[in-house]
């Protein structure tokens, strides 16, 4: 019995000592005795260790670079299974060999991945080091978004994708335009998401109102009639101001005058693939002035007399109509009638100096005088497209196959499996609109004598 009691006492003493020890360790380790991360089976990661901090500073490494590398070598390991599922071993092994091991830039990597530190807070070394800034020159360019304060979360989604897929490595500016003042929330949220500088402009009233030559009664009757006929946005005044603004004034805003190139971004769009090069620089170096990813036929009810107006312009300003233009994209009978094809302008990368040129300004003013922005419901997409089609050489219009894009309800997902794999796309190729019957993109290819990408027949 006595021996048993002594054992129990010994147990209790030991337990009390152990608990005390635990208490001591847990309360002093952050100041004194540091628990070694290695003892938990992870790399040196604690930002609280001075030792680790020193290593962080000394080593030429980044957490994200190594994280990425782990993902990469993981998928590399499944290369053989990919081979079996694909379109034959040639393209399968081509995919493994052909795709770059580093996505872009030169992510810094550890010899031993287990040694990589983990930056947990913005003050830790390596926190902002998410693969490098892209090398090369920057163009005189900006993103531009027209938006209302209420669009903040929808534009936030768009910005996030543009940044993730492209701009975080390029840091181009972003101009926001609104017919009303932007509120503090809009500015705070958007500027937190954009890696470049952000600018907020209020549109002057003369760019967002009825010109005095518009007959208000006539315009009102049109809206009532279109409402009855259930034409989308047919009864909206603001939508008409928006279309006229995008057609004739966004590039004239004071903030936009600071740039030569623009990339238009609308709320709630999606980008599905990495963008590995600078589209602005591509445009500049290849002498492009306008670009698109989606094209389609316009809703005829919204533009019944647009082509009449265009013909009047062509007659009055023959000097602006360029030889070697894209008329066959717009008309099937040499310019007599409009086939309603247009580039979808909610995505555009283009040249602002072209839009500010006499040719384009004459074109817009001529159309504007005819009143169709209010007596009908002319969209900025056919207006921009017809201008690009007539005032530019056909080689100056570019189709960005590798910019994968969605704006409700259409998707451009690059044709060609290898392209989608190389660009790490997450769009479903079945959703690609390019070769469907209601797309005009095949006309663009035919007109320019371009070979359609391999595999397009399967998507018709």
Ligand X SMILES: *[C@@H]1O[C@H](CO)[C@@H](O)[C@H](O)[C@H]1NC(C)=O
Ligand Y SMILES: Nc1nc2c(ncn2[C@@H]2O[C@H](COP(=O)(O)OP(=O)(O)OP(=O)(O)O)[C@@H](O)[C@H]2O)c(=O)[nH]1
Catalytic residues: 348
The answer to whether 376 touches 304, Cβ cutoff 8 Å, is yes
Rounded alpha-carbon distances, angstroms, from residue 171 to 76, 134, 164, 198, 247: 31, 9, 11, 10, 27
List strand residue ranges (DSSP E) for 179-320, in order. 198-202, 261-264, 270-271, 290-292, 295-297
Q: Smallest distance, Å, CB 288 to ligand Y?
A: 23
Q: Tell me the CA distances in angstroms from 363 to 65, 264, 310, 358, one per residue in order.
A: 50, 21, 8, 8
Q: Are 420 and 273 in contact (CB under 8 A)?
A: yes
Which of ligand X, Mg ion, ligand Y, none interacts with 146 (beta carbon under 5 to 8 A by kind)? ligand Y
Q: How many CB atoms lie within 10 A of CB 109?
A: 15
Which of 125, 178, 247, 291 is the binder for ligand Y (CB under 6 A)? 178
- Binding track over 318-357 against ligand Y, x by CB under 6 A: ----------------------------x-----------
Question: 165 preceded by cis ω (within 30°)?
Answer: no
Nearer to ligand Y, 147 or 359 (CB): 147
Under DSSP, the state recorded for 453 is P
Q: Nearest-5° angle of CA 152, CA 153, CA 155?
A: 65
CB 260 within 8 Å of CB 352? yes
Beta bridge partners of 141: 261
Task: Confirm or reject binding of residue 260 to ligand X (CB under 6 A).
Answer: yes
Which residue of the chain is nearest Mg ion when measured via CB?
266
Each residue of 233-259: b (16+ CB within 10 Å) or e? bbbeeeebbbbbbbbbbbbbbebbeeb
Q: How far is CA 48 from the centre of its chain?
A: 38
Q: Which is nearer to ligand Y, 177 or 341 (CB)?
A: 177
Pairing of strands 198-202, 173-178: parallel
- Could you say which of 353, 362, 417, 431 contacts ligand X (CB under 6 A)? 353
147 part of the interface to ligand Y, by CB under 6 A:
yes
Closer of 61 and 346 to ligand Y (Cβ): 346
Q: Which is nearer to ligand Y, 266 or 353 (CB)?
A: 266
Q: In the bound complex, what is the minimum distance in angstroms from residue 124's beta carbon to ligand X?
A: 36
Count of residues interacting with ligand Y (CB under 6 A): 13
Q: How far is the CB of 427 from ligand Y (least distance, A)?
A: 19
Coil, strand or helix: which one is 350? Answer: strand
The H or E element spanning position 219 is helix 216-228
**Cβ atoms of residues 438 and 409 within 8 Å:** no
Could you identify the residue written with the tokens 């002057």?
204
**Given the rule CB under 6 A, which of 34-42, 56-64, 197-205, 253-261 is the region that contacts ligand X?**
253-261
Nearest approach, Cβ of residue 353 and ligand X (Å)? 5
**81 binds ligand Y per the rule CB under 6 A:** no
Interface mask toward ligand X for 134-153; x: CB under 6 A: ------x-------------
Tell me which of 115, 179, 301, 353 binds ligand Y, using CB under 6 A: 179
- Partner in contact with 148, chosen from ligand Y, ligand X, Mg ion, none, beta carbon below 5 to 8 Å by kind: ligand Y
Of 35 and 284, which CB lies nearer to ligand X in the complex structure?
Answer: 284
Closest by CA to 245, choosing from 388, 379, 366, 397, is 379
Residue 96 interacting partner from Mg ion, ligand X, ligand Y, none (CB closer than 5 to 8 Å by kind): none
Q: How far is the CB of 204 from ligand Y (least distance, A)?
A: 13
CA dist 361 and 387 (Å) reads 10
Closer to ligand Y at the Cβ: 147 or 440? 147
Site for ligand Y in 223-262 (CB under 6 A): 238, 242
Cβ 250 to ligand X shortest distance, Å: 14
Q: Among 129, 266, 274, 353, which residue interacts with Mg ion (rule: CB under 5 A)?
A: 266
Does 408 engage in binding with ligand Y (CB under 6 A)? yes
| Contact between residue 376 and residue 240 where contact means Cβ atoms under 8 Å apart | no
Nearest CB to ligand Y, comparing residues 266 and 274: 266
Neighbours of 294 (CB within 10 A): 24
Residue with tokens 């013909």: 311
Minimum CB–partner distance for residue 245 and ligand Y (Å): 8
361 binds ligand X (CB under 6 A): no
State which of residues 259, 280, 313, 360 lies at the interface with ligand X (CB under 6 A).
Answer: 259
**Residue 51 in tokens:** 């030792």
301 binds ligand X (CB under 6 A): no
Nearer to ligand Y, 110 or 406 (CB): 406
53 binds, among ligand Y, Mg ion, ligand X, none (CB under 5 to 8 A by kind): none
Strand ranges of the sheet holding 397-399, from the earlier edge strand across to the other edge: 198-202, 173-178, 141-146, 261-264, 348-351, 290-292, 397-399
- Tell me which residues touch ligand X (CB under 6 A): 140, 258-260, 353
- Tell me which residues touch Mg ion (CB under 5 A): 266
- Tell me which residues touch ligand Y (CB under 6 A): 145-148, 151, 178-179, 238, 242, 266-267, 346, 408
């Amino acid at each position: 019995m006595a021996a048993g009691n002594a054992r129990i006492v010994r147990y209790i003493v030991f337990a009390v000592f152990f608990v005390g020890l635990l208490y001591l360790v847990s309360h002093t380790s952050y100041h004194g005795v540091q628990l070694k991360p290695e003892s938990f089976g992870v790399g040196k990661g604690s930002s609280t260790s001075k030792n680790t901090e020193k290593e962080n500073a000394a080593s030429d490494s980044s957490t994200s670079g190594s994280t990425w590398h782990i993902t990469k070598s993981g998928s590399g390991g499944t290369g053989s299974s990919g081979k079996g599922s694909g379109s034959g071993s040639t393209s399968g092994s081509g995919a493994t060999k052909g795709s770059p091991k580093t996505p872009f830039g030169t992510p810094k990597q550890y010899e031993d991945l287990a040694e990589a530190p983990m930056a947990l807070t913005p003050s830790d070394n390596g926190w902002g080091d998410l693969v490098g800034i892209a090398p090369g020159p920057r163009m005189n360019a900006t993103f531009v978004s027209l938006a209302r304060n209420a669009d903040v979360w929808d534009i936030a989604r768009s910005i996030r994708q543009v940044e993730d897929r492209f701009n975080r490595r390029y840091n181009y500016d972003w101009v926001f335009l609104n017919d009303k003042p932007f509120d503090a929330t809009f500015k705070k949220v958007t500027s937190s998401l954009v890696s470049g500088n952000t600018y907020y402009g209020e549109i002057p009233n003369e760019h967002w109102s009825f010109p005095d030559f518009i007959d208000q009664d006539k315009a009102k009757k049109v809206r009532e009639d279109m409402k009855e006929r259930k034409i989308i946005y047919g009864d909206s005044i603001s939508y008409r101001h928006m279309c006229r603004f995008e057609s004739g004034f966004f590039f004239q805003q004071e903030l936009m005058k600071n740039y030569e190139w623009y990339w238009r971004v609308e709320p709630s769009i999606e980008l599905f693939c990495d963008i590995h090069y600078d589209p602005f620089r591509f445009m500049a170096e290849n002498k492009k002035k306008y670009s698109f990813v989606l094209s389609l036929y316009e809703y005829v009810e919204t533009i019944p007399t647009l082509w009449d107006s265009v013909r009047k312009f062509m007659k009055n300003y023959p000097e602006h109509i360029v030889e070697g233009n894209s008329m066959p994209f717009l008309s099937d009978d040499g310019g007599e009638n409009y086939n309603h094809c247009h580039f979808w302008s909610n995505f555009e990368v283009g040249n602002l100096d072209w839009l500010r040129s006499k040719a384009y300004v004459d074109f817009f003013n001529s159309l504007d005088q005819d009143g169709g922005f209010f007596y009908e419901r002319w969209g900025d997409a056919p207006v921009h497209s017809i201008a690009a089609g007539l005032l530019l050489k056909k080689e100056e219009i570019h189709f960005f196959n590798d910019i994968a894009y969605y704006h409700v309800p259409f998707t451009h997902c690059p044709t060609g499996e290898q392209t989608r794999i190389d660009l790490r796309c997450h769009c479903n190729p079945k959703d690609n609109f390019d070769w469907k019957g209601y797309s005009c993109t095949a006309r663009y290819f035919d007109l320019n004598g371009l070979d359609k990408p391999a595999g397009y027949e399967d998507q018709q």
